[in-house]
Amino acid sequence: MRINPIGAKTNYYPTTSPKAKTLTNQNRATIPNLNHLNATYNQAAINFRGTSDASRALVRQIPLEDKLASLFENFRLGDLILVGKNLHESAKQMYKNADVVKNAIKRGFFIADETIEGNIGFIKNPIGDIEVINLNEYDIPLTSNNKTYPLKPHESFYVIEDDILSINGNLLTIKNKPKVDLSMYRKNFAKAFNFEKEADQNIEKINKKTLSQLMQPARKTATPITFAQVGGLDELKNSLKKDIIYPIRYPEAYEGVELNHGFILYGPPGTGKTHIARALANEAEANFINLNGLDLESKWVGESESNWRNLFEEAKQNQPTIIFLDEFDAVARSRDSHDIYGNKVVNQILTLMTDIDNENCDVYVIAATNNFKALDSAITRSGRFGKHYEVTPPNKEGLKEIFNINTKNRKLDENINIDELVDQLAKVNATGADVRHIVNEAHKNGMVRSGIYEKMDNKTFTNKDNELFKIAQEDFDKALNDFLVDKKSSSRKPIGFMKQQAQAG
């Protein structure tokens, strides 16, 4: 039996030592009842200062329960005690049970004990109790107050003084204090490891991450968008519900179902691709990562692949996550473009998507583009982005819905002819973004008409002016007119459909 693992190669316990010989023959099934050894043990406690073979041999004779009790005297949250024949084996078993420990391990102690069949661990839990962890593949009966509880493999349970663990027939009594003070000799029977610095650094990292997540919802809840605020696009909403929201909400119903994790939304700008993805993340109560391909390309050049890996890693760690990749064609453009950088990125994205599929993560990637044809065929043909949805400008019904969504919190004159307005918008294939723009412009027109800006300039504006304010038909007429003129003008910054349609073709 080895006492001090640091000097494992040295034979500290010559078999010629009469005491060692006698004691190694003891039946350790009687570990708690080594009363007949007490005299020797007390004697040993007095004598084993120094490092003589004899004194080391005496350390071996200290019952395991006292060695443990001595460590328990200083036991803290973050400490782990392993007991077994061999550190490597004990650590290996503990590794398999790592999930039992709910805090960072800062200090480790290993007590080598030949007599124990198997391995056990002890931790201090956050409420201050000592917990034993069964690291074996068999039950460990734990007797407390004459009641016996079978501690199952991989289970942990708190223990108190006088509890008895029966480890493969050997009994171990839990004591809070050793028979004599062993603090001077702990290093002789327990190998100690300190991971405090490393653990603290990692805890700081994890805490910062947690805090940054806590900070996010505040931003998110400021503008929560739901499906009710997405006009039209009913088919897409229904598909996304079945493909993403329900699998996240009701995972048990999707067990064994192969889920699609990659989606491509294509269609002109302003049709609500980003808007619906935001609403989707909110409905699914998922984290939302919104990235723009053009931005990424310029920011990530050179280290792009590792950034994509980090991005997906973050998404996995915070799942459920919706990654929305706008202007996807900027990063996943066709291979015909001979852009080696782009192709490498495409391969990396496909590999990461494969991982998500294989690991069945709650990570869904929605890629959006105005130019579907420009996408690399490796992306469009692979099963990794298995679902493609065309997002077209809304029909009359959709336009009316979007109009109502955008005017919900504004005061409109009751004489406004909404149907007429919608007809005109439909004729020019207006998008949701166009409707929003027209409503905003009409609002501003109304403020000019009713002299509100003027009053603001003169500082005569009061709440009463606000209360009386309504957007009128003429405000919409002007907004629509300006919009139509703008649409015809080639110098106009594109917010509408026509220009992009030409580009896509």
Pairing of strands 140-144, 130-134: unpaired
Residues 434-453 that bind ligand ADP (CB under 6 A): 436
Rounded to 10 degrees, the C-alpha dihedral 60/63/67/68 comes to 140
* Residue 264 binding ligand ADP, by CB under 6 A: no
Structure tokens at 403: 């109009």
Count Cβ atoms below 10 Å from residue 125 Cβ, excluding itself: 15
Smaller CB distance to ligand ADP: residue 108 or 394?
394
Strand partners, 390: 266
Q: Which is nearer to ligand ADP, 237 or 470 (CB)?
A: 237
Residue choice 60, 67, 175, 273 for contact with ligand ADP (CB under 6 A): 273
Residue for token digits 């809070």? 176
d(CA 456, CA 454): 5
Residue 28 engages ligand ADP in binding (rule: CB under 6 A): no
Footprint (CB under 6 A) of ligand ADP, residues 389-408:
402, 405
CB 432 to ligand ADP: min, Å: 2
Size of the chain in residues: 505
Residues 5 and 191: their CA atoms lie apart, in Å, by 7
Residue among 247 and 272 whose Cβ is closer to ligand ADP: 272
Q: Rounded distance, CA 335 to CA 342, Å?
A: 8
Q: Does a cis peptide bond (omega within 30 degrees of 0) precede residue 320?
A: yes
The number of residues that bind ligand ADP (CB under 6 A) is 17
Rounded (10°) angle between helices 304-317 and 340-359: 20
Nearest distance from C-beta of residue 372 to ligand ADP, angstroms = 13
Is residue 271 a contact point for ligand ADP (CB under 6 A)?
yes
Residue matched to tokens 């699609």: 260
| 293 lies in the site for ligand ADP, by CB under 6 A | no
Whose Cβ is closer to ligand ADP: residue 80's or residue 402's?
402
Task: Give me the 415-434 binding string for ligand ADP, x by CB under 6 A, dash otherwise.
Answer: -----------------xx-
Within 213-232, the residues that bind ligand ADP by CB under 6 A are 230-232
Q: Is 323 in the site for ligand ADP (CB under 6 A)?
A: no
Q: Are 286 and 362 in contact (CB under 8 A)?
A: yes
Q: Which is nearer to ligand ADP, 120 or 495 (CB)?
A: 495
Most distant CA pair in the chain: distance in Å?
111
Piece of 273-281, 286-294, 337-345, 448-456 that binds ligand ADP (CB under 6 A): 273-281
Name the site residues for ligand ADP (rule: CB under 6 A).
230-233, 269-275, 368, 402, 405, 432-433, 436
